[in-house]
């Protein structure tokens, strides 16, 4: 369980993270989504006690990270793939980490095998490809068998095989009841991996909820209507507009309707005796929702700047 309350980080006049409050719950993968520079990494670094918040708190299982005696047993993190000394072997890197938190040394070969690095345990971390370094980072995060896992862009730079591996691996970890908090700037990745989404833009919370809700909140539901009679379609368009719906007609035989539910569109078509071939709700993609959410945040920030300048 991760709890952020009013978390804020300012660098001089620039606000990187702005009054962020949220809870990350166990047993699910929570995606942390935002454009580059939105404040994702800064937020994660504050949770992990690396950067000090200007205001607010970040609690891991009810305590600030820095107050945990053996933090690796509570929360495992992958913040940067290159977090091992390049001239130290993978085994020595993990052994030092294990000793620092009173974790038995036998965990080291266990986690190395779990991420598929058992064969190269004796190789220097500097000789690893980016994909191997990411795996070593995930092994490090798993070392203390923690309840909470926090991963910053874990699939960055991985080949499709590696992406698939990380995805299924995180799924199995969440299924064990762990809290998984995962950042990415790739919404397609999030759509496939996450159960819940937290979207931030310019350091502000834009959306927080199940993936479907975030998509629904970010886009308007539309209904697509298609029929063989152009006259009938035009008549239906008039009736729908009269009902307060927003109607566009991308083709003579097609309507895109928003503002009224699908059932109402069907009823109206029936009443007007319009012949239909297709009547369906259009599933908005997360990508659309995300673009909409983040573009609003950019506009908002822009407007605020203008207001300040005007005062």
Partner 1 sequence: MAATAPAPARPAGRSRTAGLRGAVAAEWTKLVSLRSTWYLLLGAAVLTGVIASAAGVLTHDPGASPAGPAVVAELNGTGLVVAALAMLAVTGEYATGSATTAFLCVPDRVRLLAAKSLTLGAVTFAAGLLCGVVGLVCGLVTLEESTFDTATVCGQVLGVGVHAALLSVLTVGLAAVVRRSAGTVTALFGLLFLLPMALDVLPGAETAVDLLPAGASEALLLDGNGSYGWQAGLALMALWALASLTVAARVLRRRDV
Residues forming the site for partner 1 (CB under 8 A): 45, 48-52, 65-66, 68-72, 77, 79-80, 82-89, 92-93, 95-97, 99-102, 140
Q: Considering the complex, what minimum distance in angstroms separates the CB of residue 67 from partner 1?
A: 8
Least separation, in Å, of the C-beta of 116 and partner 1? 21
Using alpha carbons, select from 137, 159, 162, 163 the residue that is nearest to residue 150. Answer: 137
Looking at beta carbons only, is 5 or 88 nearer to partner 1? 88
Q: Other C-beta atoms within 10 Å of 26: how many?
A: 16
Instruction: Please give, one letter per residue, the 3-state secondary structure of 252-310.
Output: CCEEEEECCCHHHHHHHHHHCCCCCCEEEEECCCHHHHHHHHHHHHHHHHHHHHHHHHH
| Identity of the residue, 87 or 303, whose beta carbon is nearer to partner 1 in the bound complex | 87
104 vs 310 by CB, closer to partner 1: 104
Query: Shortest Cβ distance from residue 47 to partner 1 (Å)?
Result: 11
Smaller CB separation from partner 1, 95 or 166: 95
Q: How far is the CB of 89 from partner 1 (least distance, A)?
A: 7
Backbone angles phi, psi at 256, to 5 degrees: -120, 115
Q: Are 154 and 127 within 8 A, CB to CB?
A: no
Q: How far apart are CA 299 and CA 311, in angstroms?
A: 19
Q: Which is nearer to partner 1, 69 or 308 (CB)?
A: 69
Phi–psi pair at 153, nearest 5 degrees: 50, 60
Please report where in the chains the tokens 């991308």 appear, as a residue.
250
Find tokens 């993990």 and name the residue: 94
Nearer of residues 63 and 280 to partner 1, judged by Cβ: 63
Closest CB 146 distance from partner 1, rounded Å: 11
Q: In 10 A of CB 151, how many CB atoms?
A: 24
In the complex, least distance from residue 87 CB atom to partner 1, rounded to whole angstroms? 6
Three-state DSSP class for residue 66? helix
Give 42 or 193: the residue with its C-beta nearer to partner 1: 42
Give the nearest distance from C-beta 170 to partner 1 in angstroms. Answer: 19
- Give whichever of 73 and 185 is closer to partner 1, judged by the CB atom: 73
DSSP character at residue 197: E
b/e burial code for range 211-237 (CB count within 10 A of at least 16 → b): beebbebbbebbbbbebeeeebbebbb
If the CB atoms of residues 151 and 247 are measured against partner 1, the closer one turns out to be 151
Please report how close the Cβ of residue 31 comes to partner 1 at its closest, in angstroms.
22
Closest of 78, 86, 82, 105 to residue 94, by C-alpha: 105
Task: Let me know: does 48 contact 55? Beta carbons within 8 Å.
Answer: no
Please report how close the Cβ of residue 163 comes to partner 1 at its closest, in angstroms: 23
């Amino acid at each position: 369980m991760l709890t952020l309350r009013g978390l804020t980080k300012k660098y001089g006049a620039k606000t990187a993270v702005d009054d962020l409050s949220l809870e990350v719950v166990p047993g699910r993968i929570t995606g942390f989504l935002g454009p580059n520079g939105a404040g994702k990494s800064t937020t994660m670094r504050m949770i992990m006690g690396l950067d000090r918040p200007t205001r607010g708190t970040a609690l891991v299982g009810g305590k600030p990270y820095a107050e945990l005696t053996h933090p690796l047993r509570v929360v495992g993190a992958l913040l940067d793939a290159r977090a091992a000394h390049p001239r130290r072997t993978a085994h020595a890197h993990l052994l030092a980490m294990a000793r620092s938190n009173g974790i038995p040394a036998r965990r080291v070969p266990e986690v190395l095998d779990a991420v598929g690095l058992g064969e190269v345990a004796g190789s220097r971390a500097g000789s690893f490809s980016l994909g191997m370094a990411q795996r070593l980072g995930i092994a490090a995060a798993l070392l203390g068998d923690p309840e909470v896992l926090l991963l910053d862009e874990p699939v960055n730079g991985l080949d499709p095989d590696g992406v698939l591996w990380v995805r299924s691996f995180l799924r199995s970890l969440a299924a064990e009841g762990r809290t998984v908090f995962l950042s990415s700037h790739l919404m397609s990745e999030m759509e496939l991996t996450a159960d819940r989404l937290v979207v931030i833009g310019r350091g502000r919370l834009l959306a927080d909820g199940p993936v479907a809700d975030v998509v629904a909140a970010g886009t308007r539901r539309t209904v697509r209507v298609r029929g063989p009679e152009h006259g009938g379609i035009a008549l239906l368009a008039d009736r729908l507009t009269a009902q307060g719906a927003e109607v566009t007609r991308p083709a003579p035989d097609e309507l895109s309707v928003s503002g009224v539910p699908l059932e109402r569109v069907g009823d109206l078509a029936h009443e007007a005796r319009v012949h239909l071939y297709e009547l369906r709700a259009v599933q908005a993609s997360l990508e659309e929702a995300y673009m909409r959410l983040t573009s609003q945040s950019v506009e908002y920030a822009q407007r605020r700047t203008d207001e300040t300048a005007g005062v």
